[in-house]
Structure 1
Amino acid sequence: MHIGLHVSDFTNPGGPATLREDLIRIVGEAEESGYRSVSVMDHLWQIPPIGDAERAMLEAYTTLGFLAARTERVELLAWVTAVTYREPGLLAKLVATLDVLSGGRAWLGIGAAWFEGEATGLGLPFPPTAERFERLEETLRICLQVWSDSEEPFEGKHYTLGRTLGNPRPLKRPHPPILIGGGGEKKTLRLVAQYGDACNLFGGDDVAHKLDVLKRHCDDLGRDYDTIEKTVMAPFTPNDLDGFLESAQRYAALGVTHLHGGFPYFEAGTVKSFGDAVVPRLAEL
Structure 2
Amino acid sequence: MPDYGHEPRFGVFVTPTADAHDQVVRTAVTADVLGLDSVSIQDHPYQPAFLDTWTLLTHLAAHTERVHLFPNVANLPLRPPAVLARAAATLDILSNGRAELGLGAGAFWDAIAALGGPRRTAGEAVEALAEAVDVIRALWTPGRTPRLEGTHYSLEGAKSGPFPVHDLGIYLGAYKPRMLRLTGRVADGWLPSSGYLPPADLAAANKVIDEAALAAGRDPADVVRLYNLSPDFARTTEAWVEQLAELALEEGMSHFVLAVDLGDDRALRAFAEEIAPAVRELVEAERLLPGTRSPEPVGAAPAPGAQATSSGTVLGVTPTPPPERLLSDGLPWDETTRPRVAAPADATYDDSGRQQSRHLIDVHDHLRAELAQLRDLIDQVAQGQLGVGAARTAINQMTMRQNSWTLGTYCESYCRVVTTHHTLEDVSMFPRLRRLEPRIAPVVERLQEEHHAIHDVLEQVDRALVAMVGDPDQDVSGVRRAVDLLTDTLLSHLAYEEEQLVDPLARHGLQ
2:174 maps to 1:182: yes
Q: Return the offset for 1:179.
A: 0.3
Give identity over the alignment, percent: 29
Q: Is the 8 A contact 1:145 1:164 kept in 2?
A: no
2:131 maps to 1:119: no
One-letter amino acid of the structure 1 residue matched with residue 210 of structure 2: K
Q: 2:51 aligns with which of 54, 58, 61?
A: 58
2:33 maps to 1:26: no
Q: 1:3 aligns with which of 7, 10, 13?
A: 10
Instruction: Report runs of 4+ in structure 1 exceeding 4 Å deviation.
Output: none
Aligned to 2:247: 251
Q: Return the offset for 1:206.
A: 0.6
Cα separation, 1, equivalents of 2:192 and 2:21 = 30
Q: Return the offset for 1:164.
A: 3.2
2:165 maps to 1:171: yes
What are the within-5 Å matches in structure 2 for residues 194-233 of structure 1? 194-203=185-194, 204=198, 205-233=200-228
Q: Return the offset for 1:37.
A: 0.8
Aligned to 2:259: 262
Cα separation, 1, equivalents of 2:193 and 2:162 = 34
Cα separation, 2, equivalents of 1:60 and 1:83 = 13
After superposition, the Cα gap between the structure-2 partners of 1:117 and 1:157, relative to the gap in structure 1 and judged at 3 Å, is closer
Q: Return the offset for 1:215.
A: 1.3
- Bigger Cα displacement from structure 2, 139-148 vs 244-253: 244-253
Q: Return the offset for 1:281.
A: 2.4
Q: Deviations over 1:235-278 (max 9, x none)?
A: 13486322221220221122211111213x2xxxxxxxx43xx2
Cα separation, 2, equivalents of 1:161 and 1:252 = 39
Q: Is the 8 A contact 2:89 2:162 kept in 1?
A: yes
Q: Deviations over 1:111-141 (max 9, x none)?
A: 1101123212322222222212111111000
Backbone CA RMSD of aligned residues: 1.8
Equivalent position SS for 1:281:
helix
Equivalent position SS for 2:181:
helix
Aligned to 1:104: 97
Aligned to 1:82: 75
Q: 2:149 aligns with which of 145, 148, 155?
A: 155
Q: Is the 8 A contact 1:233 1:261 kept in 2?
A: yes
TM-score normalised by structure 2 residue count:
0.48
Equivalent position SS for 1:163:
coil
Q: Is the 8 A contact 2:15 2:24 kept in 1?
A: no
One-letter amino acid of the structure 2 residue matched with residue 200 of structure 1: L
One-letter amino acid of the structure 2 residue matched with residue 76 of structure 1: L
Aligned to 2:269: 283
TM-score normalised by structure 1 residue count:
0.84
Cα separation, 2, equivalents of 1:201 and 1:158 = 25
Cα separation, 2, equivalents of 1:256 and 1:130 = 27
Structure 2: stretches of 5+ with no match in the other structure = 1-7, 272-511
Q: Return the offset for 1:68.
A: 0.9
After superposition, the Cα gap between the structure-2 partners of 1:108 and 1:153, relative to the gap in structure 1 and judged at 3 Å, is same
After superposition, the Cα gap between the structure-2 partners of 1:45 and 1:279, relative to the gap in structure 1 and judged at 3 Å, is farther
Cα separation, 2, equivalents of 1:247 and 1:215 = 22
Cα separation, 2, equivalents of 1:207 and 1:250 = 12
Structure 1: stretches of 5+ with no match in the other structure = 47-53, 266-273
Equivalent position SS for 2:192:
strand
Cα separation, 1, equivalents of 2:21 and 2:135 = 34
Equivalent position SS for 1:89:
helix
Cα separation, 1, equivalents of 2:154 and 2:203 = 39
One-letter amino acid of the structure 1 residue matched with residue 129 of structure 2: L
Cα separation, 2, equivalents of 1:209 and 1:239 = 26
Cα separation, 2, equivalents of 1:34 and 1:163 = 43
More strand by share: 1
Q: Is the 8 A contact 2:231 2:258 kept in 1?
A: yes
Aligned to 2:419: none
Q: Deviations over 1:122-165 (max 9, x none)?
A: 22222222212111111000100000023233222222322232
Q: Is the 8 A contact 1:236 1:244 kept in 2?
A: no
Cα separation, 2, equivalents of 1:146 and 1:120 = 27
Equivalent position SS for 1:284:
helix
Q: Deviations over 1:186-211 (max 9, x none)?
A: x1111111111111233321111211
Cα separation, 2, equivalents of 1:194 and 1:57 = 33
Q: 1:191 aligns with which of 182, 198, 208?
A: 182
Q: Is the 8 A contact 1:154 1:163 kept in 2?
A: no
After superposition, the Cα gap between the structure-2 partners of 1:82 and 1:20, relative to the gap in structure 1 and judged at 3 Å, is closer
What are the within-5 Å matches in structure 2 for residues 130-141 of structure 1? 130-141=123-134
Cα separation, 2, equivalents of 1:94 and 1:160 = 18
Q: Return the offset for 1:88.
A: 1.6
